[in-house]
């Protein structure tokens, strides 16, 4: 085990279970297909060079193991264990530290701007910080890095709300932890996010022309807020 590790959290890309806030505008199948592409890009972009860090990919739900392994052959996979997101993240950090890591970062798959350079910057920043966080535009975070287990950072947080970052920073301050914040990036969770990040996402879809055309059609048809459900 390297003394530096990256945890990647992803889900089985089942229609109706992922990108649920985009589904009303895109339809569940297109939303799931987009999620699948975002996951594959996250894995490509964070693939470490020799000696940089070890990558641990944790998937959910655990019962989807066979399908996820068929989707990502050759990728070492571990199930996410625990109740809410905080419990699962805390368990994943504990697993990485138990394996011998001394610095651990975690990312999701919602921000296509995250790369191995982002991860390395976060892990390096632990030289002078106890917690490194990558704030997201929606009030959450796209990355968190720690130099040792910090279970209290994951307890009692209102996950999937605009309060996640503030609550995490408050817990860090209460614990007297030094925090370093990275550049603010946008996760792709909502219709507004997709519109704002469409040039970047469109580039990812060059090898998926049918999906690109389907999303472009929705962008033309669906109102700015993506409020209506497309007929399908």
Tell me if 137 is assigned to some domain: yes
Please state the rounded mean pLDDT for residues 127-138: 97
Please state the rounded mean pLDDT for residues 156-179: 94
How many CB atoms neighbour CB 212 within 10 A?
18
What is the distance between the terminal CA atoms of the chain, rounded to a whole angstrom?
48
- Do 168 and 141 form a contact (C-beta atoms < 8 A)? yes
Residue 229 has pLDDT above 80, yes or no: no
Please state the rounded mean pLDDT for residues 22-46: 97
- Distance in angstroms (rounded) separating the CA atoms of residues 61 and 55: 19
Tokens matching residue 71: 């989707």
Backbone phi, then psi, for 173, in 5-degree steps? -65, -40
pLDDT digits (tens, 9 = 90+) for 61-118: 999 999 999 999 999 999 999 989 999 999 999 999 999 999 999 999 999 999 999 9
- Taking all residues of the chain, what is their mean pLDDT, rounded to a whole number? 94
- Distance in angstroms (rounded) separating the CA atoms of residues 104 and 211: 34
- Distance in angstroms (rounded) separating the CA atoms of residues 229 and 24: 4
Tell me if 86 is assigned to some domain: yes
Tell me if 177 is assigned to some domain: yes
Tell me if 229 is assigned to some domain: no
Tell me if 142 is assigned to some domain: yes
Indicate which CATH number applies to the domain containing 71.
3.90.550.10
Residue 139 has pLDDT above 50, yes or no: yes
DSSP 64: G
Domain containing 151 equals 4-219
Q: How many domains does the chain have?
A: 1
Tell me if 153 is assigned to some domain: yes
Q: What pLDDT does 231 receive? A: 34
Tell me if 178 is assigned to some domain: yes
Q: Of 39-43, 158-162, 184-188, 223-227, which gets the smallest average pLDDT?
A: 223-227
Residue 1 has pLDDT above 70, yes or no: no
pLDDT digits (tens, 9 = 90+) for 187-227: 999 999 999 999 999 999 999 999 999 999 999 987 665 44
The strand pair at 179-181 and 131-135 is best described as parallel
Tell me if 228 is assigned to some domain: no
214 alpha-carbon distance from chain centroid: 24
Backbone phi, then psi, for 45, in 5-degree steps? -70, -25
Please state the rounded mean pLDDT for residues 13-25: 96
What's the CA dihedral at 135, 115, 66, 210 to 10 degrees? 100
Please state the rounded mean pLDDT for residues 145-167: 94
226: alpha, beta or left? (left if phi > 0; alpha if psi -120 to 50): left
Confidence label for 138 from pLDDT (cuts 50, 70 and 90): very high
Residue 228 has pLDDT above 50, yes or no: no
């Amino acid at each position: 085990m390297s003394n530096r590790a990256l945890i990647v959290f992803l889900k089985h890309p089942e229609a109706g279970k992922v990108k649920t806030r985009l589904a009303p505008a895109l339809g569940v199948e297109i939303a799931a297909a987009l999620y699948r592409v975002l996951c594959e890009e996250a894995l490509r972009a964070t693939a470490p060079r020799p000696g940089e860090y070890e990558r641990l990919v944790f998937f959910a739900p655990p019962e989807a193991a066979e399908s996820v392994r068929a989707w990502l052959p050759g990728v070492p996979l571990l199930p996410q264990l625990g109740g809410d997101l905080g419990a699962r993240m805390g368990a994943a950090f504990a697993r990485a530290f138990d394996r011998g890591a001394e610095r651990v970062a975690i990312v999701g798959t919602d921000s296509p701007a995250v790369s191995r350079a982002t991860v390395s910057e976060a892990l390096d920043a632990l030289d002078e910080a106890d917690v490194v966080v990558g704030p997201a535009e929606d009030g959450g975070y796209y990355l968190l890095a720690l130099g040792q287990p910090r279970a209290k950072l994951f307890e009692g947080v209102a996950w999937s709300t605009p309060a996640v970052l503030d609550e995490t920073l408050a817990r860090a301050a209460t614990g007297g932890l030094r925090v370093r914040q990275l550049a603010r990036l946008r996760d792709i969770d909502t219709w507004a996010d997709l519109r704002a990040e469409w040039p970047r996402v469109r580039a990812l879809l060059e090898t998926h022309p049918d999906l690109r055309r389907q999303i472009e059609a929705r962008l033309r048809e669906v109102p700015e807020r993506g409020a209506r459900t497309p007929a399908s």
